[in-house]
Amino acid sequence: MRKLSLVFASALLLAGGNLFANDSRTIDPNNELAVQIGDLLKDNNFVLDEEDLTAQVLFTLNDKKEIVVISVETDDVILENFVKSRLNYQQVQVASGKEGKMYTVPVRIQG
């Protein structure tokens, strides 16, 4: 029983040490980009037959911090064209985004 309590206490100390070791001030570029992409796609005039339209957008950033859409995975051609036209070569403000790195962001248009 004593060994079990020592193992449990060790696990708690290890987990607690890992929590305090994380830098909570770092910003995830994916979250930052997702918010900005949401703003770029916000004003739309979709008349939806379905409740929601969804897509997975694969893109990269160029040297000017502009979005370059690689692909839009969706069943709706109109949504694909809309996303490409709204996002391609739009400049974003991201501190830690790397040129050439591939990003994937889910997009949902609600009706």
Predicted local distance difference test score (pLDDT) of residue 1: 62
| Alpha-carbon 85 to chain mean position | 19
Predicted local distance difference test score (pLDDT) of residue 12: 63
Q: Which residues of the chain have pLDDT under 50?
A: 24
Statement: the pTM of the whole predicted model exceeds 0.75: no
Q: What's the CA gap between 96 and 26, in Å, rounded?
A: 9
Q: What's the CA gap between 56 and 62, in Å, rounded?
A: 20
Specify the residue for token string 């000017």. Answer: 64
State pLDDT tens for residues 7-30: 666 666 666 665 555 554 555 667
Q: What's the CA gap between 90 and 87, in Å, rounded?
A: 6
